Chain A
Amino acid sequence: MSGFEFTAVSAILLIPLAAAALLAVLPGYQLTARLNVIAALLTFTAAVSLFFTERPAAGSYLLVDDLNIVFIALNTFVGFTASVFSSSYIGHELSTGRLTPDHLRFYHAMYQLLLFAMNLALLANNIGLMWVAIEIATLTTVLMVGIYRTHEALEAAWKYFILGSVGIALALFGTILVYVAAQPVIGEGLQAMVWTVLIQHVSRFDPSLLNLAFVFLLLGYGTKVGLAPLHAWLPDAHAEGPTPISAVLSGLLLNVALYAVLRFKLLLAANAKALAPGPLMVTMGLISLVFAGFMLYRRRDIKRLFAYSSIEHMGIITFAFGMGGPLANFAGLLHMVMHSLTKSAIFYGVGHIAQIKGTQKIEDIGGLTETHPWLGWALVCGVVAIAGLPPLGIFMSEFLVVSSTFAREPVLALPLVFGLLVALGALLWRLNGLAFGRPRGATGPGEASYVPMYAHLALVLTAGIYLPPPLVAWFQNVAGLLG
């Protein structure tokens, strides 16, 4: 059996890598876009097969366990649907001349490299390797954000690059501190960076070193999650890059960074004398939520609007994991999955809307349900879902977060509910202008692929109404692991 399991893990890593190399040299839009989709689909299939095969034992570099398998499945699935969306989106960009064929080759190669880097970060059992993977993911997205070469795109990419690098540098310092804490107990060398070994011995590490390391790691990877005081890069990067990249950034990369924070949180939680990581995460989560909720009112650019909504939701997820305990962790996991699906669906819709209207300004977009019913109603569904209204999936996860908070820390529930309501108001107000009323802006027909968008929304709706018991059991198990 061991040969086959090895191939499933290596396929998840090698398929995107090989595809990146191939796509970098192949010409032709039709062929490369299809190849991009096929590679993403194969990676997703390999990820699903992880559920059905016996897992390989944890090595010094790679690891598959109950926690990261959820992230990997979600990552490869959204990576696949985003590639389907990307193939129709990029065709339009080529025909309007915003992208040249050379840029396109570069774009596709970077897309696969990004998927590779994110999968590597999720599979890494070595904290050094995880850092390297997240750094590669950052650099590839920087290059893609700047791909349009306009003033705004360059500025966004520059800002993202500088802030992202500082975050990544702080995370490396934290990683080194974890090694320094581990080295007297585990000994020198590679073993002192292997997560599964660290967690076994962490109770004997120097707690003050671990505390300091966690502060650096939370600030460093927190920059990549987009938590409030460190979020400045996120709206620009989302607004100026190609829309498939906005979808992948919001839906996936933020999760990957959060996953890194969670791994280190587990380390801290296993050391009785170290500081409790929960309150720090709860505070940063609440600040992000309330801050982003208010910022939503002042947005004039449709992609920026949803970028701020991503900050809000990452705040909720960080808050939930910070609260800890089986129920809040369960809610956090569910919310993460639902947010990824919904937000990427919204960005798919927004990408087509911006192409039809030729602008991203909210004031130039209106009456979509009348002029483009399929697109308009999908946007309505997506925004209703992301605002947390029933019967969609996010309502359920937000309800669980709120109720578990009320049960344990009623005082914290007040700012939480306040932030949620503020964001709800902003989103519905904006939605009203976008989807209903007198049509504004260009009303030409759009060539769009609705399949990825509706597939995501259908999943979110299903999850809101009925979660299959095996899935619930799986999530409960993972939530238990998270402590």
Chain B
Amino acid sequence: MNSLVFDIAHMFAGGLVLVSFMMLYQDRLYALLNIYALHALVLALAVAWRAYAVDAPHLYVTAAIALVFKAIIIPVVLHHLIVRLGIHREIETVVGIGPTMLAGMGLVALSMVVMLRVTAQADPLARKDLAFALSIVLLGLLLMVTRRNAVSQVVGFMSLENGLVLAATGAKGMPLVVEISVAFSILIAFIVIGIFLFRIRERFDTVDVQVLERHRGERR
């Protein structure tokens, strides 16, 4: 494979990991959503480049879904939602930024060590993509566990899904069925989440998950 093509693919996938890191230290919801839109944009570029590099036109569809749906529609809707809920200026108490970043670096190192060792015989582009994808999945998980706000947890989950899309497109010739279903499931997931957020608002007047925790069945 042409080394320039390979390097650019590498750059996009690495950029995605970098944007995942940027999400970890955002303490305002508005900023977090903007970074998420950037995340989806980089994903769209990475997938489109992949489509060009391996000459797989169906991947352009996946890239377009990432661009239109994840980079534009979802952030816009969520922006409206948090304004309506009146939490757009709230500052979240994130678990110390230092430890979170260190944990994130540890997770990336872990996924590099694991994936690069395991996939020694696989196609080099797929190999790097898988290693980056696992990092993004783990960083998404980290984002979810360090946040208390329901909206930020959802953003964490969506960044995790972006990592999965990167992995799926990185696997050579993986059937389109799966890619569409991934996009589709995000859509469903989003609807579900939307319903939940409205219901949570209706019942609790807050989207802080810690308030929810007080209502646990066992401690009534």
Among residues of A, the one whose C-beta sits closest to the C-beta of B130 is A180
| Of the residues A129, A172, A179, A304, contact of B218 by C-beta under 8 Å | A304
A139→B192 contact, CB < 8 A: yes
CA distance A236 to B212 in the complex (A): 13
Residue of A nearest to B188 (CB): A139
Tell me the B residues contacting A by CB distance below 8 Å: 114-115, 117-122, 126, 130, 133-134, 137, 141, 144, 150, 153, 157, 160-161, 164, 167-168, 171-175, 177-178, 181-182, 185, 188-189, 192-193, 195-196, 199-200, 203-204, 209, 212-213, 215-218
Chain B binding surface SS class? helix
Residue from the set B114, B174, B199, B218 with the largest chain A CB neighbour count within 10 Å: B174
A209 touches B203 (CB 8 A): no
User: CB distance B167 to A142 under 8 Å?
Assistant: no
Q: Is A300 an interface residue (CB 8 A)?
A: yes
**Docked-complex contact A176 and B167, CB < 8 angstroms:** yes
Whether A129 pairs with B177 at a CB distance below 8 angstroms is: yes
Q: A162-B157, A166-B144 are in contact. Are A304 and B217 (CB under 8 A)?
A: yes
Contact for B119 among A157, A161, A180, CB less than 8 A: A180
Q: Give Cα A362–Cα B137 distance, bound, in whole angstroms.
A: 41
Q: Given known contacts A151-B203, A188-B172, is B161 in contact with A169 (CB within 8 Å)?
A: yes
Contact across chains for A190 and B175 when beta carbons are under 8 A apart: yes
Complex Cα–Cα for A261 and B157 (A): 23
Q: Are A132 and B126 in contact (CB under 8 A)?
A: no
Q: How far is the CA of A126 from the CA of B212 in the complex (A)?
A: 39
Q: Could you say which residues of chain B place their CB within 8 Å of the CB of A55?
A: none
- Seed contacts A132-B178, A173-B164; 8 additional CB < 8 Å A-B pairs: A131-B181, A157-B196, A175-B178, A176-B168, A183-B172, A209-B119, A240-B217, A304-B218
Contacting pair B118 A212 (CB below 8 A): yes
Assembly CA distance A161 to B185 (angstroms): 13
Interface size classification for chain A: 35 or more
Closest 9 CB pairs of A and B: A188-B173, A151-B215, A128-B178, A208-B118, A155-B212, A132-B181, A190-B175, A176-B167, A180-B171
Q: Is the interface of A mostly helix, strand, loop or mixed?
A: helix
Instruction: Kindly list chain B residues whose C-beta atoms are within 8 Å of the C-beta of A149.
Output: 199, 203
Q: A184, B171: Cβ atoms under 8 Å?
A: no
Within 8 A of B (CB), among A41-96: none
In whole angstroms, how far apart are the Cα atoms of A211 and B114 in the complex?
11
- Asked if B171 and A190 sit within 8 Å, CB to CB, the answer is no
What 0/1 readout, one digit per residue, does chain A (293-316) give for beta carbons within 8 Å of chain B? Answer: 000000111001000000000000
Neighbour of B199 across the interface among A129, A146, A172, CB < 8 A: A146
Indicate if the CB atoms of B196 and A301 lie closer than 8 Å. Answer: no
Contact pick for B177, options A128, A139, A156, CB 8 Å: A128
**A239 B174 Cβ-Cβ under 8 A:** no
Residues from chain A with a CB closer than 8 A to the CB of B168 are 172, 176
User: Which residue of B134, B167, B189 contacts A165 across the interface (Cβ within 8 Å)?
Assistant: B189
- Chain B residues with CB below 8 A from A239, complex form: 217
Which residues of A sit under 8 angstroms from B115, Cβ to Cβ?
212
Closest chain A CB from B87 CB (angstroms): 17
A152 contacts partner chain B, Cβ-Cβ < 8 Å:
yes
Most buried by B among A139, A169, A189: A169
Smallest CB separation, A131 vs chain B (Å):
8
CA gap between A143 and B191 in the complex, in Å? 11
A180 and B126 form a contact (CB under 8 A): yes
A398 is an interface residue with CB less than 8 A from chain B:
no
CB proximity of B53 to chain A, nearest CB, Å: 15
Distance A131 CA – B179 CA, assembled complex (angstroms): 12
Within 8 A of B (CB), among A175-198: 175-177, 179-180, 183-184, 187-190, 192-193
A135-177: CB near B (< 8 Å → 1, else 0) gives 1100100110010011110111110011001100110110111
B197–chain A nearest beta-carbon distance, Å: 10
Q: Does A206 sit at the interface, judged by CB under 8 A?
A: yes
In the complex, what distance in Å separates the CA atom of A187 from the CA atom of B211? 51
Given contacts A135-B185, A152-B215, A154-B196, contact A183 B130 (CB under 8 A): no
Task: Check B122–A209 contact: CB distance below 8 A.
Answer: yes
Contact B171–A176 (Cβ < 8 Å) = yes
Please state if A184 and B213 are interface contacts (CB–CB under 8 Å): no
What are some 16 contacts across the A-B interface (CB < 8 A)?
Answer: A128-B175, A135-B181, A154-B196, A155-B213, A158-B196, A162-B157, A172-B168, A176-B168, A183-B174, A189-B175, A190-B175, A190-B177, A193-B178, A206-B119, A206-B121, A239-B217
B45 to chain A, nearest CB (A): 20
Digitize A259-276: 1 where CB-to-B-CB distance is under 8 Å, 0 elsewhere: 000000000000000000
